[in-house]
Chain A
Amino acid sequence: MAEFRLPANSRPVKGITHPAPPGVREARTVRIYRFSPDSGENPRIDTFTLDTKSCGPMVLDALIQIKAVTDSTLTFRRSCREGICGSCAMNINGINRLACTTHMHDLKGDVRIYPLPHMPVVKDLVPDLTTFYAQYASVKPWLQATTPPPPDSERLQSKEEEERIDRPAACILCACCSTACPSYWWNSDRFLGPAALLAAYRWIIDSRDEATGERLDALEDPFRLYRCHTIMNCTDVCPKDLNPARAIAEIKKMLVERQG
């Protein structure tokens, strides 16, 4: 059956409360999920007190500050700090989002930071995205065409044709959408999830691609595609304001369209 409770060894317990650094001017409580695979212990929720006056404005700044000042063992992914790499996706105050584009002052009450939901945890805020990336690879996210490109130029698209793929192609593969999807939680072994389906859609509607039929064939499956029940958490959480739910609906429409 679907899992409605965490397994006994995954349930978080109360963790360490770190004292506030001396001379705090504006205190903010941050609770962070901690898990170390080496300790053999349950995950725990550590409490940190942060001086927001001496810290940058974003949640990522807070994490970096905590790692630098209070606890250097805190583990998280980050790279670009401007919402384009997708590394720092995590669950902040109950919503999947990028730590680098989330303002501390937009969050109400204590800041609660967890890894992306329903994924295996490597350490602290780092989820194991192996399956997620394999699902992306499975939709063959590259141009497939039999017609060779013109010898003296690139493959051309009209402005309108480019506009169709412009938004879907802006996906940064942060995994916020897929890990917000209940269908993905229960059936991620067979359902591809919104991110991979958005990528598939981006190639299906690419005017230069000639594998449209094969791409649709590969998606026509009760689990791969039709586990989507238009819950729309994906579109709700996307930090790039993309619309995977709509892309999936368009794929379903195309599958009906080619029936007759």
Chain B
Amino acid sequence: MSLRSPLGRVLGLGAAKQGVHHWWAQRLTSVALLPLSVWFVVSLLALPALDHATVVAWLRQGSTALLLILFLLVAAWHSQLGVRVVVEDYVHGNGVRTLTLVLLTFVHVLAAAAGVFAVLRVAFGVTA
């Protein structure tokens, strides 16, 4: 039981003085994802065939690799921003929340790095 005043409890530790960047980045990444995801779907559909050789040849074009890396990075960033909001909404308790956020950030960075690595590997001709 706490005898702290209701106003004291509401004021808590004060305002974090941040949150604008997160909010703005979420909008910015979603705007960037619009053309990037349309490009991704349209260019895949525009391929003459979807066999391994055709897709590898497509990936080896400089513009494809560049746009695909951008798409992967922006998607991972956007997802990280969004998942963070979900965790903050539903995971209560400072310890559990911080741990979940740290783990999910690692997962997103790993996913982005793995994606970029995979694109570069194909683009620069190391065939599996």
Q: Contact residues of A with B, CB < 8 Å? A: 1-2, 130-131, 133-135, 137-138, 183, 186-187, 189-190, 192, 217-227, 229, 252, 255-256, 259
Contacts and interface: CB of A to CB of B under 8 A. Distances in A.
29 contacts: A1-B91, A2-B89, A2-B92, A130-B6, A131-B10, A134-B6, A135-B10, A137-B10, A138-B7, A186-B89, A186-B90, A187-B88, A189-B12, A190-B12, A217-B17, A218-B15, A220-B16, A220-B20, A222-B19, A222-B22, A223-B88, A224-B15, A225-B19, A226-B22, A227-B88, A255-B19, A255-B20, A256-B24, A259-B20
B19 to A, nearest CB: 4
B85 interface: yes
A252 B17 contact: no
A217 B5 CA distance: 23
A130 B2 CA distance: 14
Interface of B: 5-7, 9-12, 15-20, 22-24, 85, 88-92
B48 to A, nearest CB: 43
A225 B92 CA distance: 17
Nearest to B89: A186
A219 B10 CA distance: 12
Contacts of B10: 131, 134-135, 137-138, 192
